[in-house]
Amino acid sequence: MMSWEHFDHGADIGVRGYGASPAEAFGQAAFALTAVITDPATVNPKVAVHVACEAPDLELLLVDWLNALIYEMATRKMLFGRFAVRIAGNTLQGEAWGEAVDRARHPLAVEVKGATYTALRVEQNPAGLWLAECVVDV
Amino acid sequence: MDTARLIRRDEFTWEISPRGKMRVPAILYADEALIRAMDEKVYEQAANVATLPGIVRAAYAMPDAHWGYGFPIGGVAAFDPAAGGVVSAGGVGFDISCGVRTLHTGLRRPDIEAIKPVLAEALYACIPCGVGSTGSIRLNAREMSAMLTDGARWAVRRGYGTAEDLERIEEGGRMPEAQPDEVSDQAKQRQRDEMGTLGSGNHYLEVQHVARVFEPAIAAAYGLQEGDVVISIHCGSRGLGHQIGTDFMKKMLASAERYGIHLPDRELACAPIESPVGQSYLGAMRAGINCALANRQILTHLTREVFRDLLPDARLTLLYDVSHNTCKLEEHVVDGVPRRLFVHRKGATRAFGPGHPAVAPALRAAGQPVLIGGTMGTASYVLAGTAESEARSFGSACHGAGRAMSRHQATRQWQGRQVVDDLAAKGVLIRSPSLRGVAEEAPGAYKEVGAVVDAAHQAGLARKVARLEPLICIKG
């Protein structure tokens, strides 16, 4: 099985990550977020950006994590292609590696306005695999 | 949507009667075919909106309604602050004051036919669009604050337009009572280099021609004749508005319990209008509206510069500027009594009828222009607000076609290059930094905008005035 995928939502798009832990699933969901915007394979992980979030529960933490990445991409004009996430209680520390947007090399589709609470789920399936997903507004 | 769950009040009016925690009914305006094709989620979301405190009369869904965030897109709801009414960040949406403005050019279709490819290239070169694009304007803290306070009036003061433009923008180009201090530093940071940018997704700048006039008298009042060349710009408040949405969804979700608000869906996060969080959001959201108005004004200026160089005989004057995602304090008559209500329009256009004092004097007798964006391959429409829409939908109408399929389905069905070539063969020139974006926005991925507009017309929400067809489309 792929470790991330998109799912359909009317006008917008859903991002879904899988992993052995919530942190791993969050990292894969971030990869799915990049794939909404461009082909993640074209993004060189040259520069690291640190992100920290805190939220009352894991689901809201996912939205905060994705929104923090959206903010960093928007203000730095960067794309990210590699992620590392650590979750302890209600806090998240993450690294995103990427590079500046380059229209010649990155096939761009659409910018993401924000991660939403729609179809928001962070849960473990009976086989022990974690899933982290929500719809993003484009 | 299963029509068996609805009560049909008349041919174009469908009701979800109050049940469970619904305080008022939900009313959907559409013909039978649109209702049958409508997402079941619209039913659920309209019913959820009807549960919110202080909602007045009904939760409404326009003919183009589809699954949104908490509120359906194409949703209208009014709240009374005196009855514990709420304001909802989800009810406004992420792209605050996303909207459409249409400009006259004073040109006829043959005037631009020979120069079309040159014009397309020049517009594409001058209008920043697509992912990661930046404008040339940088605002320091003081200018940012002035822009967020004064909207398009700020832009005109800085030389991006004329005083005549302002008369043709809702609220005269300046949303009053904006509070720039309520806008986070992150939101301002996101806007630092995005003034005068188009964005991506369904945003566009189109050169169009008036293909057909349906109501000659109103069209004449609006200055539209068949064969005229016009320009329509669809975009919003860019990164600043998106970040305000993100910031306040979080704050309102956290405060809802404190205010004793039961949320059937987290996305309906809201706060009482008369609460610190509600007031803070209103101040920030109004600043977001001003950002969108200033942004469309700057894009207008950039467009005028291109036309001045290539077609010096053109005179670009504003027909009107409408916003789709707003919450505005308005007076409406409910059961014979005028009340001041906070009207949320999420993917819905204000459509005030003839004589309404909020409509520009030059257009007042005809009613407010309602500008409906279509797709780059089909058509857009100009409608006029009606007196009936006041009683039917707090003076509101639809806003666009609405997607018929997801972005993924669209990319499986169309190649961007093919879409560009097919449209070029039909005389529509597309310029875009993103072929995948073009595929995702392929005309076939949208519902037939004509059906939505016909339903709005027949339901009495707005009158169909003119049909605009694209000649050039700059797509983000």
pLDDT digits (tens, 9 = 90+) for B171-223: 999 999 999 999 999 999 999 999 999 999 899 999 999 999 999 999 999 99
For β-strands B86-88 and B270-272, DSSP reports them as antiparallel
pLDDT at A10 > cutoff 80: no
Average pLDDT of every residue of chain A: 95
* pLDDT for res B476: 86
B-chain residues near A74 (CB < 8 A): 190, 239, 242
CATH no. of B3-404+446-475: 3.90.1860.10
Alpha-carbon Rg for chain A in angstroms: 14
What is the ipTM for the molecules in this complex? 0.92
Q: Which two tokens stand for residue A40?
A: 């993640």
B412-422 pLDDT, tens digit each: 999 999 999 99
Active-site position among B209, B399, B408, B457: B399
Is residue B71 within 8 A of residue B62, CB to CB? The reply is: no
B399 is catalytic: yes
Q: Is residue A8 predicted with pLDDT exceeding 90? A: no
Beta bridge partners of B66: B73
Domain extent for A80:
4-137
A88 CB near a chain B CB, below 8 Å? Answer: no
- Token readout for B103 is 């400009």
Q: Render the burial of B374-393: b for 16+ CB within 10 Å, e for the rest.
A: bbbbbbbbbbbbbebbbebb
Strands (E), B335-419: 337-346, 349-350, 369-372, 380-385, 396-397
Indicate the range of B177-181, B231-235, B273-277, B432-436 predicted with least confidence. Answer: B432-436
What pLDDT score does A2 carry?
A: 66
Scanning the structure block, which residue is given the tokens 């005309």?
B443
Q: What are the tens digits of pLDDT across the range B219-271?
A: 999 999 999 999 999 999 999 999 999 999 999 999 999 999 989 999 999 99
**Number of continuous H segments (helices) and E segments (strands) in chain B:** 17, 19
Neighbours of B270 (CB within 10 A): 32
A1 pLDDT higher than 70: no
- At B238, list the tokens: 């860019």
Tell me what the mean pLDDT of segment B37-57 comes to: 96
Contact A77 B130 (CB under 8 A): no
Which residues 6+ apart lie within 8 Å of B106 measured at CB? Answer: B313, B314, B315, B316, B317
pTM: 0.96
**Using the beta-carbon criterion (under 8 Å), do A117 and B269 form an inter-chain contact?**
yes
How is A68-121 classified by DSSP, letter by letter?
A: HHHHHHHHHTEEEEEEEEEEETTEEEEEEEEEE--TTTS-------EE-STT-E
Residue B123 has pLDDT above 60, yes or no: yes
Chains A, B: CB contacts within 8 A come to 121
Q: How many domains does chain A have?
A: 1
Question: Could you tell me which residues are beta bridge partners of residue A81?
Answer: none
pLDDT of B261: 95
Using an 8 Å CB-CB cutoff, list chain A residues near B253: 60, 117
pLDDT tens profile B447-461: 889 999 999 999 999
> CA of B240: which chain A residue's CA is closest?
A113
Q: What is the CATH number of the domain that holds A124?
A: 3.55.10.10
Asked whether the predicted pLDDT for residue B403 surpasses 90, the reply is no
Alpha-carbon distance A32 to A27, whole Å?
A: 9
Task: Express each pLDDT in A89-117 by its tens digit.
Answer: 999 999 999 999 999 999 998 999 999 99
